[in-house]
Amino acid sequence: MKLKLLLLAFAFVTSVHGASLGSVQADPTVLMPRPQEVKSAHMAAELLSRYHYKAIPLDEALSGRIFDHYIKSLDPEKVFFVQDDIDQFSSRRTQLGSDMVKDDLSAPFAIFNLYVKRAAERFSYARSLLRSGFTFQESESYQLSRNKQVWSKSDADMRDLWRKRVKNDWLRLKLAGKNDSSIVEVLDKRYENVLKRMGRINSEDAFQIYMNAYTTAIEPHTNFMGPRSAADFDISMRLSLVGIGAVLTEIDEYTTIRELVVGGPASLSGQLKVGDRIVGVAQGEGGAMTDIMGSRIDDAVTLIRGAPDTLVRLEVLPAGVGPDGKHKIVSLIRKPINLADQAAKSSVQEISDGVTTHRIGVITLPSFYEDFMGRQKGAKDYKSASRDVERMLVELKEKRVDSILVDLRNNGGGSLTEAIRLTGLFIGQGPVVQVRKATGDVALERALQATVAWDGPLGVLINRASASASEIFAAAIQDYGRGLILGERSFGKGTVQTMVNLDRVAKSEKAQFGEIKMTIAQFFRINGGTTQLRGVTPDVAFPSAFDATEYGESSYENALPWSEIAAASYSAKDDLRGLLPALLAKHESRIQKDKEFQYIQEDITEFKALKVKNEISLNEVERRKERSAQEAKRATRKRVVAKDPETGSPDPVLIEAHRDDGLQANERNLVSELAAEKARKSDKDVLLLEAVHVLADAAAELQSNRHSVVRVK
């Protein structure tokens, strides 16, 4: 994790709600559950009540928790509902469970319809405030987070809250250098676009939100996925789909090409480029053209994807031309697209101590992906995280690296099988994890690799967002003493989920009921402990901005408790932790001298202080003073991000990438936004570099003093 300047961090906090509300309704029609949703809810209730690891009856107590989760998922910051809105549904609070069993979803849909109405009212009111504008001489502030506040007592209180919210949006743009007329234009368009997107909500959206309120009321990692969400999850595990190879986004109601996948049909055709707007889609040579102007992005994607080797025709408004510009028709043959940007990647980092240069192989793994279907069918080239990493280890050995660092930061998990196989690449054969079912039976899952793919020094870099399969791997490496764990304490998710396809349960040939990701077991380390709640504690700790009460397993009120079982029988390896005293001393000495590392610690301290303060001034003089202080701090630091990596001279694009411009992503020029995004990715990864330094130190220690490693039997 690399913290940005706090002004930018809090700018995100104050704008995120407007960006996330693109799925409610302006002039709302009443949404009603469809028959398949009623049946899906009934099947889910039966399955979860009987087969969940934490199976509990769908009684009044659980109904109350479902109600609370549902309201929180709709309005987490308490900016739409007022207390009277909550009170009018309180009589149904404990009946949601019995209603679901009786195939009655009227209450959750009534709540959702009111939410839609209130959201439309709030954004319409926000637009009305733009006519009179604001003054910024008053001494008042805007609360950044309201999730722990009580509900507003009246509409008057809510209007005052939204007045401050819009005032803050206005002030951000003013501080970024925009005049009043352009500010009105930007904000009016922003709120209008939200209202337009409200009209695209459907019953499937409402139903999925409600069902996830139900599933997470049981346990945090049980989820419901509608047919589209289930298909997207499958794509994320396979890292492949069939389509044209274009990443799409919505800009001003246009389905816009944000990126072309190298080697995909769209890129190879030479007929499409970034910024082109797709306004129509037709199937085959003679299919009718469907107008997708103003459509939801997922609807557009559904039309563009299809079966392999089939033809799709696109009506395109080229980038740079006005709305009345000449359209063109582009015909493409759909092909399988590999999502290479989400797969494992490797690189080599060189660290020199003035005498010796150590080469550290870095493997970055975003998730534990696996093409389940491909493996079952016996496909030779099916996608797999462990297979990709094994190939990279061969390549890195050929490059004569001294150590391997596996970067699992922000890796939320994935396939349990892949976590076990990945562990086997470094330990060979042996137990990796213990899995306890709801019956109490414990199974020992073992790695079966005949040979070790890498037997040299090893490090695993984790952060608070490293969860589940990442924790299984890191814990096993730590328990075996096979490598060093570096970074932050991990998430603390010690549960195992399986996918239940409700269409198969109902014997439906059509995908209409969705899937449930259901918790069925809890995993334990081979030492008998569990990562549940406590996560994996690093051997070398890096600074963290996360509060365990706000992020991670320990932040959930209904998480499973920590527990312990008997340890498995296993033999530890050469324990690099015997080097820890020397490594920690060098680490501490280095970070005390590393200005970039100190900047991170300073930012974390300031960030935590501002979170406690939880408010931002709406006084222009005070805000300009704060902004100037941040700019001065950035100038003093002379951060690498403010320089062109090739010339070393100040780069305006890189500088702007880290300055708050008051805009949301879809409001910026696409070319500029992509350039800024690329610039942010080029930031110096201070934590990764320090992890590499620690492993270089370990390699040096091993080479100079092999007997210092503690042999653990």
The residue annotated as part of the active site, out of 152, 493, 661, 685, is: 493
Burial label for 237, CB within 10 Å (0-12, 13-18, 19+), is buried
**How far apart are alpha carbons 225 and 513 in whole angstroms?**
9
Query: Is 383 among the catalytic positions?
Result: no
> Is residue 203 within 8 Å of residue 37, measured between CB atoms?
yes
In angstroms, the Cα distances linking 36 to 288, 302, 508, 576 are 29, 20, 11, 56
The residue annotated as part of the active site, out of 276, 402, 479, 603, is: 479
List b or e across 82-119, with b for residues whose CB sees 16 or more CB atoms inside 10 angstroms: beebbeebeebbbbbbebbeeebbebbbbbbbbbbbbb
Tokens of 60: 């009044």
SS3 assignment, position 627: helix
CA angle 129, 135, 137 (to 5 degrees): 145
> End-to-end CA distance of the chain, in Å?
36
The residue annotated as part of the active site, out of 63, 384, 468, 554, is: 468
Tokens of 526: 């081979």
Q: Identify the CA nearest to 469 among candidates 401, 588, 384, 353.
A: 384
Query: Is 468 among the catalytic positions?
Result: yes
Residue with tokens 């069993």: 101
- Cα dihedral 171, 176, 181, 184 sign: negative
Burial label for 379, CB within 10 Å (0-12, 13-18, 19+), is exposed
The β-bridge partners of 361 are 348, 404
Mode of pairing for the β-strands spanning 484-487 and 540-541: parallel
The amino acid occupying position 236 is S
Q: Identify the CA nearest to 4 among candidates 541, 664, 694, 681.
A: 681
**How far apart are alpha carbons 232 and 624 in whole angstroms?**
44
Burial label for 324, CB within 10 Å (0-12, 13-18, 19+), is exposed
Residue with tokens 């005052």: 160
**How far apart are alpha carbons 175 and 136 in whole angstroms?**
11
CA angle 31, 35, 37 (to 5 degrees): 75
Indicate the helix (H) or strand (E) that contains 314. Answer: strand 311-317
In angstroms, the Cα distances linking 360 to 6, 458, 517 are 32, 10, 38
Query: Is 493 among the catalytic positions?
Result: yes
Q: How many CA atoms lie within 13 A of 507 on its CB side?
A: 0
The β-bridge partners of 238 are none
Question: What DSSP letter does each residue of 211-258 carry, written as one string?
Answer: HHHHHHHH-TT-EEE-HHHHHHHHHHHHTEEEE-SEEEEEETTEEEEE
Give, as one character, the DSSP assignment of residue 342: G
**How far apart are alpha carbons 667 and 249 in whole angstroms?**
12
**How far apart are alpha carbons 81 and 424 in whole angstroms?**
52
**Which residues are annotated as catalytic?**
468, 479, 493
